[in-house]
Structure 1
Amino acid sequence: MDRWSDEQRSFAVEMFLKNGDSATLAQRRFRTRFNRASRQCSFEAYHTEMGRYLQDKQMKKPVGVQRSVRTPENVERVRLSVEASPGRSLRRQAALRMSYSSVRRILKTLTFHPHKIAITQQLMPRDYVIRMEFAQTMLEMLAEDIVILTSDEAHFHLSGFVNKQNCRYWASQNPRHIHERPLHCERATVWCAVGSVGVIEAVPRRMVQQVMSNFQDRLHECVRRNGHHLEDVIFKT
Structure 2
Amino acid sequence: MVVLSGCLCKGKRPRRPRVLEEQVARICAAFERSPWKSTNRASRELAIPQSTVWHVLTVRLHLKPYRLQLIQALTNDDKRKRMEFCNSMLEMMGRRNLHFTFNFSDEATFHLSGTVSHYYVHIWGTEHPHETVEHERDSPKVNVFCAVSQDKV
TM-score normalised by the chain length of structure 1: 0.38
RMSD: 3.8
Are 2:30 and 1:81 aligned?
A: yes
Q: Does 1:107 align with 2:57?
A: yes
SS in 1 for 2:18: coil
Per-residue Cα deviation, 1:179-233 (whole angstroms, up to 9, x for no partner): 223321445599xxxxxxxxxxxxxxxxxxxxxxxxxxxxxxxxxxxxxxxxxxx
1:169 aligns with 2:123: yes
Taking a change above 3 Å as real, the CA distance of residues 102 and 189 of structure 1, as seen in their structure-2 partners, is: closer
Q: 2: CA distance between counterparts of 1:169 and 1:84? A: 12
Matches of 1:93 and 1:83, distance apart in 2: 12
Output the amino acid matched with 1:90.
T
Give the paired residue count.
Answer: 117
Alignment counterpart, residue 157 of structure 1, candidates 88, 92, 109:
109
Computing the radius of gyration from Cα coordinates, the structure with the larger value is: 1
Separation in structure 2 between the aligned mates of residue 158 and residue 101 of structure 1, nearest angstrom:
32
| Equivalent position amino acid for 1:157 in 2 | T
Change (3 A) 1:82 1:158: closer
**Higher fraction of strand:** 2
Letter aligned with residue 71 of structure 2? T
Return the letter of the residue paired with 2:56.
Answer: I
Pair 1:72–1:180, CA change in 2 (3 A): same
Higher RCO (Cα < 8 Å, 6 or more apart): 2
Q: Aligned equivalents of 2:47 and 2:142: distance in 1?
A: 42
| CA offset digits 1:58-100 (Å, max 9, x no partner) | 5xx558x946434443332221111112111111222434322
Q: Deviations over 1:140-192 (max 9, x none)?
A: xxxxxxxx9995xx9742435431232111111222333223321445599xx
The amino acid of 2:137's aligned partner reads L
- Residues 176 and 155 of structure 1: is their aligned pair in 2 closer, same or farther, counting only changes over 3 Å? farther
- Contact 1:93/1:103 (<8 A) preserved: yes
Distance 1:188 1:71 in 2: 48
Paired residue type of 1:167: V
The correspondence of residues 13-32 of structure 1 with structure 2, limited to 5 A, is none
Asked whether the equivalents of residues 117 and 168 of structure 1 are also in contact (C-alpha less than 8 Å), the reply is yes
Q: Percent identity?
A: 19
The amino acid across from 1:111 in the alignment is H
Question: Are residues 173 and 150 of structure 1, via their aligned partners in 2, closer, same or farther at CA, if it must alter by over 3 Å?
Answer: farther
Unaligned segments of structure 1, at least 5 residues: 1-43, 135-147, 191-237
For residues 108 and 94 of structure 1, the distance between their equivalents in structure 2, rounded to whole angstroms, comes to 15
| Structure number with higher helix proportion | 1
